Amino acid sequence: MNSEKGLCMKYKYTEKEAKKFNKYGIDLTVYPTSISTANVVKVIVREGHFQEFYDIKSTYIYTILEGKGAFFLNDEKLEVETGDQIVIPPETRIHYFGTMEMVLTTTPAFSPENERHVRLIEKSESPYLKN
């Protein structure tokens, strides 16, 4: 508890509290915080994120914890591997392929009304999958 303001501050968020779902081929674990300046998501990629999208306000910061792949940012291919960090400014088109475990931080926090769908991605576009 913050005794100066009489507020109870939560510091720990568990995976059990998180919302888990699959979105266009990736598994997301979204941790529930009330912080408007950023949020954190665990991302598991087995083949790719089969949606090209962009956000009009948030910067996306991906940290590759494990694996390797390729991000396509405004059609530019960027190879990534364990230990890399990718910083993607607002209004940058994003999709990616590979097998990776990542942490995604968005700042300001993700808001669905700021995400723009560009197109669905065919698996055949992946440089990692055999057609």
pLDDT in tens, 59-111: 999 999 999 999 999 999 999 999 999 999 999 999 999 999 999 999 999 99
Calculate ∠ Cα 47-49-55, nearest 5°. 160
| 16: helix, strand or coil | helix
- Per domain, the residue ranges of the chain are 15-121
**What letter represents residue 25's amino acid?**
G
Structure pTM? 0.89
| Superfamily classification of domain 15-121 | Jelly Rolls (2.60.120.10)
Nearest-CA neighbor of 57 among 2, 119, 106?
106
* Confidence category of residue 2, pLDDT binned at 50, 70, 90: very low
Tell me which DSSP letter residue 102 carries.
Answer: E
Which pair of tokens denotes residue 55?
A: 């956000």
**What letter represents residue 131's amino acid?**
N
pLDDT at 16 exceeding the cut of 60: yes
